Structure 1
């Protein structure tokens, strides 16, 4: 995996978290809540929902929906190398 692919995956994870945080800030304007835990839960829930909706739209409707995740191109991952074994497992014979 290239450095670009790593940065793309991080950016596409960060954008929904930032959008969730902004949504929670906006919700606090309209909902008088003193508990910080509620705000954190709202951020997490909104970020997961946001990511899920736009990832699905990107896959099923148009790759252009990827822009709502920060970039319109998901990261690419190399195919698994059958000669490499997971840590702790002996090679197949």
Structure 2
């Protein structure tokens, strides 16, 4: 895996987490929530749904939906060449 592929995969993981965090903050502003665990769970759940939805749209509808994950190009991982034993 190249450094670029690693960076792309990291970026595409971080963007949904940040979106989930912002969504949780917005919910927290409008609703009196005192439990940090609930907020953390909401963030994780929203992030997972967000990532899953846009990953599905990216593969089934249009690669342009990848921009919602931070980059409109999924990382490409080269396959390992077959090893031969001598």
Q: Same fold (TM over 0.5)?
A: yes
CA distance in 1, matches of 2:80, 2:46: 33
Q: CA deviation at 1:29?
A: 1.2
How large is the Cα RMSD of the aligned pairs? 1.3
Paired with 2:49 and 2:68, the residues of 1 have a C-alpha distance of: 13
Structure 2: 5+ residue runs without aligned partners? none
TM-score (norm 2): 0.94
Larger radius of gyration: 1
Q: Which position in structure 1 is the counterpart of 2:61?
A: 61
Runs ≥4 residues deviating over 6 A: none
How high is the TM-score relative to the length of structure 1?
Answer: 0.87
- Mark the runs of 5 or more structure 1 residues left unpaired by the alignment: 85-90
Aligned to 2:15: 15
Higher helix fraction (1 or 2) = 2
User: How far apart, CA to CA, are the structure 2 residues paired with 1:52 and 1:71?
Assistant: 15
TM-fit CA distance, 1:30: 1.5
